[in-house]
Amino acid sequence: QKEVEQNSGPLSVPEGAIASLNCTYSDRGSQSFFWYRQYSGKSPELIMFIYSNGDKEDGRFTAQLNKASQYVSLLIRDSQPSDSATYLCAVNRGYQKVTFGTGTKLQVIP
Amino acid sequence: AAGVIQSPRHLIKEKRETATLKCYPIPRHDTVYWYQQGPGQDPQFLISFYEKMQSDKGSIPDRFSAQQFSDYHSELNMSSLELGDSALYFCASSEPAGTFFNSPLHFGNGTRLTVT
């Protein structure tokens, strides 16, 4: 079992719809969770981070964390073609040990 | 705002040569991470440093070494380069945080290494 798992996609959603990206992790002791967006050939860009169970909203983005289920998700409302990218889930297992998932490729269809 | 600076942006080397990649973290960030990303792949963790000491080690080949200096910049040294080392190499830094609640990683623009 990989430490951080994501569906590789591609996930296709129509413009204006909600995109839902999911991530599971294996280390129950993990405390910090991050979502990054990466365009091809570019560096990962931080979108959201979440530490506590529940939801955290920032503009069109909502991160959801359920530590009991070892599950973290990212919702993108009113999806735009410019949101088309690979979304990476990252998990901090403590002591500066951060592991990335394989990423989910999102395609927003105009 | 200051970002993570990586140099060079592009590097072309021949097989069996050596390469040195440099990373200058955001001011006051004490932790540096190195990642390797091949085409169509997720970033693979190589190594990290916290307060100039190695804090974690990933899939870094024995041919590679790295260190963090007193000014917190880091260098990744790669020897006996192979064709498979061609990739994007990212450096990231994070600010001081508690043991478990790591602050987010901020990435540099990467160094694209091509081995011919």
| Beta pairing class for B10-13 and A104-109 | unpaired
pLDDT at A4 over 80: yes
Closest CA to A55 of A27, A79, A75, A35: A75
Residue holding tokens 């987010």? B104
Which residues of chain B are within 8 Å of residue A92 when distances are taken between CB atoms? 100-102
Distance from CA of B107 to the nearest CA of A (A): 6
What is the torsion angle, in degrees rounded to the nearest 10, for the CA atoms of residue B109, residue B110, residue B114 and residue B115? 170
**Strand blocks (E) in chain B:** 5-7, 10-13, 19-24, 31-37, 44-50, 53-57, 64-68, 74-78, 87-94, 106-107, 111-115
B109 to chain A, any CB pair closer than 8 A? The answer is yes
Q: State the Cα–Cα distance between residues A66 and A25, nearest whole angstrom.
A: 11
Nearest CA in chain B to A96: B102
Minimum Cα–Cα distance from B6: chain A residue: A43
Interface contact B56, partner A, CB < 8 A: yes
Secondary structure of chain B: what % helix, strand, coil (to 5)? 5, 50, 50
**Radius of gyration of chain A from its Cα atoms, rounded to whole angstroms:** 13
Q: Which stretch of A58-67, A94-103, B3-12, B103-112 has the lowest confidence by average pLDDT?
A: A94-103
Summarize pLDDT for B58-78 with one digit per residue, the tens: 889 999 999 999 999 999 999
DSSP A91: E
| pLDDT-derived band at B1, boundaries 50, 70, 90 | low
List, for residues A6-50, the tens digit of each pLDDT value: 988 899 999 999 999 999 999 988 888 999 999 988 999 999 999
How confident is the model at residue A105, as a pLDDT? 95
| Nearest residue in A to B105, CA atom | A46
Cβ partners under 8 Å of residue B90, min gap 6: A43, A44, B6, B34, B35, B36, B37, B43, B107, B108, B110
Strands A85-92 vs A104-109: parallel, antiparallel or unpaired:
antiparallel
How far is Cα A79 from Cα B33, in angstroms, rounded to an integer? 31
